[in-house]
A and B are shown apart, each in its own frame.
Chain A
């Protein structure tokens, strides 16, 4: 290991943490943005995420290929998403409640079938060494960027652009804002929502695959600490904007690194409060940027949670 980096460890940890920890949040919140923009809310992505983590790990253990693991996770996520989308198209079925039940179902299945994969080690997804220019190993480690993070960053820009400029983006937005308007345009809102929820599920499962195949990079029943649920909440925080999701995920990841890194440089009192930083910060920003005048700008009109 290299020499002392002292207090520089804190900003470095925040940068490194933002890159390492944010990826699951990015994927789940981007997926949920697509779903919610279409007028549905899928609160069950936590279950999809955990099931995706298990599937990716299990397939990677069995085949030795992380990419096959990732693919299997995405497929499982699509199944969960389509199931949610299909069941919620029936009248009077509450999408939030189904989401909560799906959360139990997904986690339960993941734990049930994941038992044999707790012991074996799976290969890890590759990372790109963006820190090659530095001679400091800590900087090199912090800048080891996983490909999924880069894909997530690219996707958030792409989605932001696509919502504004493509026909598919327009269709999703119209369906999300008014089912009646969509029908008038000859669009079947339920089909659009079905697809949007399916894609959302695939994204969430990929977020889970990142947890099990890269960071922290192992499978056990405690692998997720509620990232899936938190990411769904971050979508509201990001006001259904893909770029906002990316920023919120970075903020969350970076702020989460504050607690451990402060202890490592000797700030040892009150660590529970430091660990609460991501939540306090998010809440503070929400309070500061909301106002009753322009309530929930960007909120899809059909969304049950904001009606």
Chain B
């Protein structure tokens, strides 16, 4: 392994030499031009979970064919001192110059501490709210407007439901999840304003039996379309299909698990994001610190519509999707009340997908049955 270590060290030397030759660094956020680089990916769960971690691992796999780019990956890394040491190990032993810690819990304090300690290494985190006043300039965050996808899921669900009750299996009541639940409901209500969404929080990101129990409980209460926001939706999809309910997928395309019952799904397309970063890195351009994108930018995509979506549903789905592809679509717009009767968005006010306020959502809108605490 000595040779490998030497090579990566040499690679580092070359990299810094190239940077020095070009003689730039006008701003602290820039990276030295690098045609070759080692890029590290860190996942909180197994790489192949049919869900969140897999969506990132597929994005990382998209980089492996790019000349000069070496991808190093580590799975099942807990959000403790372990992840800090994993980042340091990627830097010190593999010569990584760009690291993507992909779990939300890696951001504060772990990635921020490492970014402060290794100012020459670039860190880009999935889902965090990077703040230029508080956080290091060699750090940053990226995320996608997947709530739009859940709105489209809601439209497909709204046309498929007969009971007018939809079910949502969610992990924890945090802003990213609440936005998805609300978007799902509002999408369905764009079809029929009497539709409600029942939510069950399982309290954990991955807990197979409880997710199955939650799915059964939702269907017992009459829900006939189920979606979810947990790390690995496989169990929810299979359980719901087994009970005869329709499904809207999440994170990745789960239609092979239940082709007849799968309506559509909101999928990540992280390959787009990672290729963008690598492209800039290889051209020697500064990496953006705060990156967001939606359907239009190719950060998020929809699974192909399944046989359960009728012609009318297909029409509304495609029309809305076309509208969203123009960018700046607003799902959250006033007048809007939360499910305790309090007005949360005034009439005339609208939050387009880009609105940063959406990333600190703390309410469930009227029509969602569930509680945020």
Contacts and interface: CB of A to CB of B under 8 A. Distances in A.
A268 B370 contact: yes
Contact of B235 (A119, A216, A261): A216
A3 B222 contact: yes
Contacts of A275: 203, 210
Contacts of B231: 222
A4 B222 contact: yes
A225 B211 CA distance: 12
B220 A12 contact: yes
A225 B207 contact: yes
Interface stretch (A13-21, A59-67, A75-83, A186-194): A13-21
Most buried by B among A5, A220, A225, A259: A220
A9 B220 contact: yes
Interface of A: 1-5, 9, 12-13, 16-17, 20-21, 111, 115, 118-119, 121, 124, 138, 141-142, 211, 215-218, 220-225, 227, 256-257, 259-261, 263-266, 268-269, 271-272, 275
Contact of A222 (B206, B217, B371): B206
A224 B48 CA distance: 16
Contacts, number: 138
Given A1-B245, A138-B220, A218-B235, 13 more contacts: A1-B163, A12-B220, A13-B213, A118-B49, A119-B256, A222-B46, A227-B209, A260-B210, A261-B217, A263-B201, A264-B198, A264-B214, A269-B371
A263 B217 contact: yes
Contacts of A1: 162-163, 219, 222-224, 244-245
Interface in B188-221: 198-203, 206-214, 216-221
Contact of A264 (B200, B211, B243): B200
Q: Which 5 A-B pairs have the closest CB atoms?
A: A268-B371, A216-B212, A264-B217, A260-B217, A260-B214
Contacts of B235: 216-218, 220
A260 B213 contact: yes
A260 B200 contact: yes
Given A17-B213, A260-B213, A263-B201, A220 B221 contact: no
A4 B207 CA distance: 28
B163 to A, nearest CB: 5
B221 A21 contact: no
B322 interface: no
A265 B48 CA distance: 34
Given A216-B235, A263-B370, A119 B48 contact: yes
A223 B208 contact: yes
A36 B214 CA distance: 34
Nearest to A267: B371
Given A121-B256, A264-B198, A275-B203, A218 B208 contact: yes
B50 interface: yes
B234 interface: yes
B48 A118 contact: yes
Nearest to B373: A269
B371 A220 contact: no
Contacts of A220: 46, 49-50, 208, 232, 234-235
Interface centre among B162, B203, B223 (most CB of A within 10 A): B203
